[in-house]
Amino acid sequence: MKVVGYYIALPFLLFVSYLPFPVLYLLSDFLYLITYYVIGYRKNVVRQNLKKSFPEKSPAELIKIEKQFYHYIVDFFLETLKCVTISKSSLMNRMTIENREILEDLYKKNKNIIITMGHYGNHEFVNLALPFIIPHKPKVVYRPLTNEYFNALFLKFRTKFGVIMISMAEAFREISKPEDRPFAFFLVNDQSPPPERSYWTLFLNQDTAFFTGVERFSRQFNMSVVYLCANRISRGKYQIKIELLTEVPNEIAEGEILEMHARKLERDILADPSIWFWSHKRWKFTRVNGEIVPTSYKK
Protein backbone atom coordinates (compact mmCIF):
# COMPACT_ATOMS: atom_id res chain seq x y z
CA MET A 1 0.00 0.00 0.00
CA LYS A 2 2.91 2.35 0.66
CA VAL A 3 4.07 2.18 -2.93
CA VAL A 4 0.51 2.71 -4.21
CA GLY A 5 0.08 5.83 -2.09
CA TYR A 6 3.46 7.12 -3.27
CA TYR A 7 2.70 6.77 -6.97
CA ILE A 8 -0.77 8.26 -6.54
CA ALA A 9 0.67 11.31 -4.76
CA LEU A 10 3.81 11.74 -6.90
CA PRO A 11 2.19 13.48 -9.93
CA PHE A 12 0.52 16.04 -7.64
CA LEU A 13 3.78 16.65 -5.75
CA LEU A 14 5.71 17.23 -8.96
CA PHE A 15 2.96 19.43 -10.40
CA VAL A 16 3.04 21.65 -7.31
CA SER A 17 6.83 21.74 -7.33
CA TYR A 18 6.92 23.20 -10.85
CA LEU A 19 4.45 25.99 -10.07
CA PRO A 20 5.93 29.51 -10.00
CA PHE A 21 5.94 31.01 -6.52
CA PRO A 22 3.05 33.49 -7.09
CA VAL A 23 0.80 30.64 -8.23
CA LEU A 24 2.08 28.46 -5.38
CA TYR A 25 0.88 31.01 -2.86
CA LEU A 26 -2.51 31.36 -4.54
CA LEU A 27 -2.86 27.60 -4.11
CA SER A 28 -1.73 27.96 -0.51
CA ASP A 29 -4.45 30.55 0.18
CA PHE A 30 -7.06 28.07 -1.05
CA LEU A 31 -5.59 25.07 0.80
CA TYR A 32 -5.43 27.11 4.01
CA LEU A 33 -9.23 27.46 3.93
CA ILE A 34 -9.60 23.70 3.52
CA THR A 35 -6.99 22.86 6.15
CA TYR A 36 -8.28 25.27 8.77
CA TYR A 37 -12.04 25.38 8.27
CA VAL A 38 -12.78 21.89 6.87
CA ILE A 39 -10.07 19.46 7.96
CA GLY A 40 -9.03 21.26 11.15
CA TYR A 41 -5.67 19.45 11.16
CA ARG A 42 -4.62 18.88 14.82
CA LYS A 43 -6.58 21.95 15.86
CA ASN A 44 -6.98 20.70 19.43
CA VAL A 45 -3.19 20.24 19.70
CA VAL A 46 -2.53 23.73 18.34
CA ARG A 47 -5.08 25.33 20.67
CA GLN A 48 -3.80 23.51 23.74
CA ASN A 49 -0.19 24.45 22.98
CA LEU A 50 -1.05 28.10 22.35
CA LYS A 51 -3.26 28.44 25.43
CA LYS A 52 -0.59 27.04 27.75
CA SER A 53 2.23 29.01 26.10
CA PHE A 54 0.40 32.35 26.19
CA PRO A 55 -1.86 32.35 29.28
CA GLU A 56 -1.84 36.14 29.26
CA LYS A 57 -3.44 36.41 25.79
CA SER A 58 -7.17 36.76 25.17
CA PRO A 59 -9.16 34.15 23.18
CA ALA A 60 -9.26 36.56 20.24
CA GLU A 61 -5.47 36.99 20.29
CA LEU A 62 -4.95 33.22 20.41
CA ILE A 63 -7.30 32.65 17.47
CA LYS A 64 -5.38 35.25 15.47
CA ILE A 65 -2.08 33.44 16.06
CA GLU A 66 -3.79 30.12 15.32
CA LYS A 67 -5.02 31.30 11.92
CA GLN A 68 -1.64 32.84 11.08
CA PHE A 69 0.03 29.55 11.97
CA TYR A 70 -2.27 27.48 9.75
CA HIS A 71 -1.70 29.88 6.88
CA TYR A 72 2.04 29.52 7.39
CA ILE A 73 2.07 25.74 7.76
CA VAL A 74 0.38 25.38 4.35
CA ASP A 75 2.95 27.79 2.89
CA PHE A 76 5.69 25.67 4.49
CA PHE A 77 4.31 22.43 3.06
CA LEU A 78 4.14 23.84 -0.47
CA GLU A 79 7.57 25.50 -0.13
CA THR A 80 8.93 22.09 0.88
CA LEU A 81 7.47 20.54 -2.27
CA LYS A 82 9.03 23.38 -4.24
CA CYS A 83 12.41 22.18 -2.94
CA VAL A 84 12.14 19.13 -5.23
CA THR A 85 12.77 21.24 -8.34
CA ILE A 86 14.04 24.60 -7.04
CA SER A 87 17.31 25.93 -8.49
CA LYS A 88 20.23 27.28 -6.47
CA SER A 89 19.65 30.82 -7.74
CA SER A 90 15.93 30.75 -6.93
CA LEU A 91 16.61 29.36 -3.46
CA MET A 92 19.33 31.85 -2.58
CA ASN A 93 17.26 34.78 -3.88
CA ARG A 94 14.92 33.93 -0.99
CA MET A 95 17.61 33.84 1.70
CA THR A 96 19.71 36.54 3.33
CA ILE A 97 22.41 35.72 5.87
CA GLU A 98 23.39 37.68 8.97
CA ASN A 99 26.63 37.14 10.93
CA ARG A 100 28.16 34.64 8.48
CA GLU A 101 31.58 35.84 9.68
CA ILE A 102 31.04 33.81 12.88
CA LEU A 103 31.09 30.62 10.82
CA GLU A 104 33.98 31.76 8.67
CA ASP A 105 36.05 32.49 11.79
CA LEU A 106 35.34 29.03 13.24
CA TYR A 107 36.23 27.44 9.90
CA LYS A 108 39.56 29.28 9.78
CA LYS A 109 40.26 27.95 13.28
CA ASN A 110 39.62 24.41 11.95
CA LYS A 111 36.71 23.98 14.37
CA ASN A 112 33.98 21.42 13.83
CA ILE A 113 30.66 22.89 14.89
CA ILE A 114 27.13 21.95 15.92
CA ILE A 115 24.34 24.12 14.50
CA THR A 116 21.16 24.00 16.56
CA MET A 117 17.75 25.46 15.65
CA GLY A 118 14.06 24.81 16.16
CA HIS A 119 11.16 24.08 13.83
CA TYR A 120 10.89 27.81 13.31
CA GLY A 121 10.63 29.19 9.80
CA ASN A 122 11.41 27.00 6.83
CA HIS A 123 14.11 24.60 8.05
CA GLU A 124 13.81 22.72 4.72
CA PHE A 125 14.97 25.84 2.86
CA VAL A 126 17.78 26.18 5.40
CA ASN A 127 18.76 22.53 5.02
CA LEU A 128 18.89 22.83 1.24
CA ALA A 129 20.89 26.08 1.37
CA LEU A 130 23.48 24.98 3.95
CA PRO A 131 26.27 24.34 1.39
CA PHE A 132 25.91 27.98 0.28
CA ILE A 133 25.46 29.44 3.80
CA ILE A 134 28.30 27.78 5.69
CA PRO A 135 31.94 27.04 4.77
CA HIS A 136 31.86 23.74 6.70
CA LYS A 137 30.91 20.36 5.26
CA PRO A 138 27.18 20.13 6.16
CA LYS A 139 25.83 17.04 7.93
CA VAL A 140 22.13 17.09 8.84
CA VAL A 141 20.54 14.69 11.33
CA TYR A 142 17.02 13.65 10.38
CA ARG A 143 14.29 11.21 11.36
CA PRO A 144 13.49 8.87 8.42
CA LEU A 145 9.89 8.79 7.18
CA THR A 146 7.97 5.57 7.75
CA ASN A 147 7.14 5.35 4.03
CA GLU A 148 10.45 4.37 2.40
CA TYR A 149 9.35 5.68 -1.01
CA PHE A 150 8.62 9.19 0.25
CA ASN A 151 11.75 8.97 2.39
CA ALA A 152 13.84 8.28 -0.72
CA LEU A 153 12.22 11.22 -2.54
CA PHE A 154 12.92 13.58 0.36
CA LEU A 155 16.51 12.37 0.67
CA LYS A 156 17.05 12.95 -3.04
CA PHE A 157 16.00 16.61 -2.99
CA ARG A 158 17.51 17.34 0.43
CA THR A 159 20.94 16.21 -0.75
CA LYS A 160 20.93 17.62 -4.29
CA PHE A 161 23.14 20.61 -3.41
CA GLY A 162 25.62 18.66 -1.29
CA VAL A 163 24.13 18.20 2.18
CA ILE A 164 24.91 14.86 3.86
CA MET A 165 21.80 13.44 5.53
CA ILE A 166 22.30 11.25 8.60
CA SER A 167 19.61 9.23 10.37
CA MET A 168 19.39 9.61 14.14
CA ALA A 169 20.62 6.03 14.53
CA GLU A 170 23.83 6.88 12.65
CA ALA A 171 24.53 10.21 14.38
CA PHE A 172 27.20 9.05 16.84
CA ARG A 173 29.13 7.07 14.23
CA GLU A 174 29.04 9.94 11.76
CA ILE A 175 30.07 12.65 14.23
CA SER A 176 33.11 10.66 15.32
CA LYS A 177 34.30 10.05 11.75
CA PRO A 178 37.39 12.05 10.67
CA GLU A 179 36.86 14.41 7.74
CA ASP A 180 39.10 16.19 5.24
CA ARG A 181 37.76 19.59 6.30
CA PRO A 182 35.84 21.00 9.27
CA PHE A 183 32.19 19.89 9.32
CA ALA A 184 28.95 21.20 10.76
CA PHE A 185 26.48 18.90 12.51
CA PHE A 186 22.97 20.30 12.06
CA LEU A 187 20.31 19.44 14.68
CA VAL A 188 16.69 20.63 14.93
CA ASN A 189 16.21 20.48 18.67
CA ASP A 190 12.62 21.16 19.73
CA GLN A 191 10.74 17.89 19.35
CA SER A 192 9.43 15.79 22.24
CA PRO A 193 12.34 13.71 23.63
CA PRO A 194 12.40 10.71 26.01
CA PRO A 195 11.57 12.56 29.25
CA GLU A 196 13.85 10.58 31.55
CA ARG A 197 16.93 11.36 29.41
CA SER A 198 16.23 15.04 28.80
CA TYR A 199 17.26 18.49 29.92
CA TRP A 200 14.34 20.20 31.65
CA THR A 201 13.72 23.95 31.79
CA LEU A 202 10.88 26.47 31.79
CA PHE A 203 10.04 27.21 28.16
CA LEU A 204 6.98 29.15 26.98
CA ASN A 205 5.54 29.08 30.50
CA GLN A 206 5.78 25.28 30.73
CA ASP A 207 8.18 22.76 32.22
CA THR A 208 9.74 21.44 29.01
CA ALA A 209 12.13 18.63 28.08
CA PHE A 210 14.87 19.03 25.45
CA PHE A 211 17.02 16.48 23.66
CA THR A 212 20.54 16.50 25.14
CA GLY A 213 22.42 15.58 21.94
CA VAL A 214 23.64 19.14 21.26
CA GLU A 215 25.28 19.32 24.67
CA ARG A 216 26.56 15.74 24.80
CA PHE A 217 28.12 15.82 21.33
CA SER A 218 29.64 19.27 21.74
CA ARG A 219 31.32 18.31 25.01
CA GLN A 220 32.48 14.86 23.94
CA PHE A 221 33.95 16.03 20.63
CA ASN A 222 34.86 19.59 21.72
CA MET A 223 32.68 21.20 19.04
CA SER A 224 31.71 24.86 19.00
CA VAL A 225 27.95 25.45 19.12
CA VAL A 226 26.05 27.91 16.93
CA TYR A 227 22.36 28.83 17.06
CA LEU A 228 20.58 29.46 13.75
CA CYS A 229 17.24 31.17 13.26
CA ALA A 230 15.27 31.45 10.01
CA ASN A 231 13.19 34.61 10.43
CA ARG A 232 10.52 35.14 7.79
CA ILE A 233 10.90 38.66 6.41
CA SER A 234 8.12 38.28 3.83
CA ARG A 235 6.18 35.45 2.26
CA GLY A 236 8.68 32.84 1.07
CA LYS A 237 11.72 34.91 2.05
CA TYR A 238 13.87 34.31 5.11
CA GLN A 239 16.70 35.96 6.99
CA ILE A 240 19.19 33.44 8.39
CA LYS A 241 20.69 34.73 11.62
CA ILE A 242 23.80 33.10 13.13
CA GLU A 243 24.65 33.40 16.84
CA LEU A 244 27.61 31.82 18.63
CA LEU A 245 26.63 29.98 21.82
CA THR A 246 30.10 28.80 22.78
CA GLU A 247 33.50 27.97 21.31
CA VAL A 248 34.53 26.10 24.46
CA PRO A 249 31.71 23.74 25.52
CA ASN A 250 33.75 22.08 28.27
CA GLU A 251 34.51 25.38 29.98
CA ILE A 252 30.90 26.30 30.79
CA ALA A 253 28.43 24.81 33.26
CA GLU A 254 26.54 21.59 32.53
CA GLY A 255 23.22 22.39 30.86
CA GLU A 256 24.18 25.94 29.87
CA ILE A 257 24.30 25.17 26.13
CA LEU A 258 20.76 23.79 26.13
CA GLU A 259 19.58 26.65 28.31
CA MET A 260 20.98 29.17 25.81
CA HIS A 261 19.30 27.30 22.97
CA ALA A 262 15.95 27.32 24.81
CA ARG A 263 16.16 31.03 25.61
CA LYS A 264 17.03 32.08 22.04
CA LEU A 265 14.34 29.89 20.50
CA GLU A 266 11.80 31.22 22.98
CA ARG A 267 12.84 34.79 22.11
CA ASP A 268 12.29 34.12 18.40
CA ILE A 269 8.92 32.44 18.95
CA LEU A 270 7.71 35.37 21.04
CA ALA A 271 8.81 37.77 18.28
CA ASP A 272 6.72 35.90 15.68
CA PRO A 273 4.74 32.93 17.03
CA SER A 274 3.05 32.22 13.70
CA ILE A 275 6.01 30.35 12.15
CA TRP A 276 6.73 27.82 14.91
CA PHE A 277 5.23 24.34 14.59
CA TRP A 278 2.37 24.48 17.10
CA SER A 279 0.89 21.29 15.62
CA HIS A 280 3.70 19.21 17.12
CA LYS A 281 2.79 17.34 20.29
CA ARG A 282 5.69 19.13 21.96
CA TRP A 283 4.58 18.66 25.55
CA LYS A 284 3.79 14.95 25.82
CA PHE A 285 5.19 15.00 29.35
CA THR A 286 5.50 17.45 32.20
CA ARG A 287 6.80 17.36 35.77
CA VAL A 288 4.61 17.52 38.86
CA ASN A 289 6.42 17.79 42.21
CA GLY A 290 9.56 16.54 40.54
CA GLU A 291 7.89 13.49 38.96
CA ILE A 292 7.50 13.06 35.18
CA VAL A 293 3.86 12.55 34.16
CA PRO A 294 2.25 12.16 30.71
CA THR A 295 0.15 14.97 29.21
CA SER A 296 -3.01 14.24 27.30
CA TYR A 297 -3.68 15.84 23.92
CA LYS A 298 -7.13 14.27 23.61
CA LYS A 299 -10.09 16.54 22.95
Q: How confident is the model at residue 166 (pLDDT cuts 50, 70, 90)?
A: very high
What is the C-alpha radius of gyration for the chain, rounded to an integer number of angstroms?
A: 19
Say whether pLDDT at 1 is over 80: no
Question: Looking at the DSSP assignment, which residues form a beta bridge with residue 226?
Answer: 115, 244
Say whether pLDDT at 2 is over 90: no
pLDDT at position 66 is 98
Q: Helix (H) and strand (E) counts for the chain? A: 11, 11
pTM over 0.85: yes
Bridge-based pairing state of the strands 291-294 and 285-288: antiparallel
pLDDT at position 149 is 86
pLDDT at position 119 is 95
Say whether pLDDT at 237 is over 90: yes
Q: What is the mean pLDDT of residues 293-297?
A: 88
HSE-CB at 149 with a 13 A cutoff on CA atoms is 10
pLDDT at position 145 is 84
pLDDT at position 131 is 96
Torsions phi, psi of 80, nearest 5? -65, -40
Q: In whole angstroms, what separates CA 84 from the centre of its chain?
A: 18
Instruction: Report the distance separating Cα 127 and Cα 117, nearest Å.
Output: 11
pLDDT at position 191 is 86
pLDDT tens, position by position, 52-94: 999 999 999 999 999 999 999 999 999 999 999 999 999 999 9
Instruction: Report the distance separating Cα 184 and Cα 172, nearest Å.
Output: 14
**CA dihedral sign, ordered 175, 179, 184, 186:** negative
pLDDT at position 4 is 82
Say whether pLDDT at 299 is over 80: no
Say whether pLDDT at 155 is over 80: yes
Instruction: Report the distance separating Cα 177 and Cα 179, nearest Å.
Output: 6
CB 135 within 8 A of CB 107: yes
Instruction: Report the distance separating Cα 167 and Cα 143, nearest Å.
Output: 6
Count Cβ atoms below 10 Å from residue 14 Cβ, excluding itself. 13
Percentage of residues in the chain with pLDDT exceeding 90?
82
| Per-domain residue ranges of the chain | 2-289
pLDDT tens, position by position, 6-42: 888 889 899 999 999 999 999 999 999 999 999 999 9
